[in-house]
Amino acid sequence: MNETEFSIIIPVFNGEKYIKECIESAVSQSFKGKYEIIVVNDGSNDSTTKILTEFKDEKLKIFNNKNSGPAFSRNFGIEKARGKHIAFLDSDDILDKDALQNFYDVWHSAYCKNGLEADIIFAPYYVIREHKNDIKLYFPLKKFIPEKNFLNISTTKGEVLKGNFEPWAKIYKRDFLIKNGIKFTEARLAEDLPFFYKAVSSTEKILLCKKPVYFYRKGHKQFLKEGKYDWDNEVINALLESDEIIKKCHDFKLIEKIYAKNCLDICLFWARKFKNLKNRGEFYAFCRKYLSKYGLHNNFTIKLFIRNLVDI
């Protein structure tokens, strides 16, 4: 295994609280093959840069850039990557110690079976719910048989779209991303949404890993505040870009209900994040109009009311 099998890409901005634990989880993988860790420091102005200099592992490659957002940092990481497969790790999350080995075992087993390489492998993940002080296991695709035949939008009737939208808890074949021009839209919010749809709709070769590989930290992020960025329009643009991507699928009617449910969940998620913004009403109005084509505008209004009521 002289070839670099994996590139772990970690974008970080002001991540002093968790970045050490994050990188340690990447450095201490049980995988004995060759892999690299690309940390893209996105103009941090806290102690993140100092913490990064304390690591001396040869697998670690640190790039210090001016602040340009997570999408730019991930795209930058893809350009620098030399691994056969790419894994994304957020700076406040943790990679299970056997993550790369588990991914490699699934990929290698399928390759030995039929000589074909998977473009994407999905895996279960744990959610560290700091606001509830517990950990919960998630695997939306558990009803499918792991490590067997390839899955895709058609063979699962769109069920693969129920996987988490975020780029983590997956690996992507680097050549697959490059060949299909799959990059993150350079925005600061919801940038992973078009990336997810473009990746999943561009392949017929998806595999599942049955073992959890990732710890996603939830509940420590704050509501968005007014600032120099047009937060609501970034999410709106991501939704509209996703529409353009997914509606090119020849079997869109087959997957329309699943896609519509995804859109509802996304609108509700960001509507809650925008709770304290002055122009939140404009975003709510967009969501109702946007979801009306799927008959879900009333669902949005009722569910948002209930979720806001719980917070009072």
pLDDT of residue 267: 96
pLDDT, tens only, 12-25: 999 999 999 999 99
pLDDT of residue 312: 44
CB 7 within 8 A of CB 87: yes
The sign one gets for the Cα dihedral 13, 183, 206, 39 is negative
- DSSP for 40-83, please give it: EEES--STHHHHHHT---TTEEEEEE-S--HHHHHHHHHHH--S
Question: Which of residues 21 and 252 earns the better pLDDT score?
Answer: 21
- Lowest mean pLDDT across 178-182, 230-234, 288-292: 230-234
Q: What is the mean pLDDT of residues 268-272?
A: 92
Q: How many CB atoms lie within 10 A of CB 101?
A: 17
Q: What is the mean pLDDT of residues 282-294?
A: 96
- Confidence band for 124, pLDDT divided at 50, 70 and 90: very high
pLDDT, tens only, 129-144: 877 788 999 998 988 8
Write the CB contacts of 211 (distance below 8 Å, at least 6 apart in sequence).
96, 98, 102, 123, 124
Pairing label, strands 94-95, 214-218: antiparallel
- Confidence band for 211, pLDDT divided at 50, 70 and 90: very high
Question: Which of residues 194 and 134 earns the better pLDDT score?
Answer: 194
CB 215 within 8 A of CB 96: yes
Q: What is the mean pLDDT of residues 153-168?
A: 92
Q: How far apart are CA 299 and CA 283, in angstroms?
A: 16
pLDDT of residue 311: 59
pLDDT of residue 163: 86
pLDDT, tens only, 78-116: 999 999 999 999 999 999 999 999 999 999 998 888 888
Asked whether residue 289 carries a pLDDT value surpassing 90, the answer given is yes
Q: Model-level pTM?
A: 0.94
Q: How far apart are CA 106 and CA 90, in angstroms?
A: 23
pLDDT of residue 147: 66
Q: What is the mean pLDDT of residues 214-219?
A: 90
